[in-house]
Amino acid sequence: MPNPYSNKKKIRGWKRQIRKINYWKNYHLNLDTAKLDDSQREYVKLTIDPWYRLVKRTPPAWYNRLILEALVEIYLSWYKTLQEWGEPFYLKIWLFDPHFINSQVVAATRDWIVGYNNTFTKSNQNQAFPFDKYKISNFSLEDFTWELHIEENYFYEKMDQLSEVEINNIKQKAYSSGLLQDGDRYFAIKTGDVWIGTLHR
């Protein structure tokens, strides 16, 4: 029986795939400040079929650039709205590499500002943003300040009920570990990079 969540079929109809970006972008272009005021956070993920399914896959580089242009356009629209709104805010582009399809625009106010500022561990690598890789036509990514963070998966010895074999396997891949207040031991495995972008004008 074929897997209903399979996402490995050959992609056809690229003109239609490009139109999907525009539909997705236009749907999210205007920030709902009433919703933001109520929940203190709002975000837009790349929910573009077939890339964003249970089994995600990374689009080709040229298609990623079109998506990134749409993300920047959404960001700039939200930025203008938040500037006019007049409250302190968090607004960032989270650009995942190599898991680009996880990228998103994130906005927050009040209590959520601190939480989102601490979502990712900052990388200690002195690495410049890869402008050539993400070069887009309609906007300049150099208008943003980009900081490198770590995309990571966390595993918990007690909470996840890890066996000794699983713990030993995870230890070999983990780049950090520690103890929580309740005594549970955690392990962090790096799965990629996250570039956090903020408009600096």
* Segments making up each domain of the chain, as ranges: 14-151+192-199
Q: Are 41 and 102 in contact (CB under 8 A)?
A: no
pLDDT at residue number 132: 92
Around Cβ 66, how many Cβ atoms within 10 Å?
Answer: 18
What does the block give as tokens for 163? 């066996």
Q: Report helix, strand or coil for 119.
A: coil
pTM: 0.87
Question: What are the pLDDT digits (tens) for 161-192?
Answer: 999 998 889 889 898 899 998 999 999 999 99
- Positions in the chain whose pLDDT score sits under 70: 1-12, 54, 201
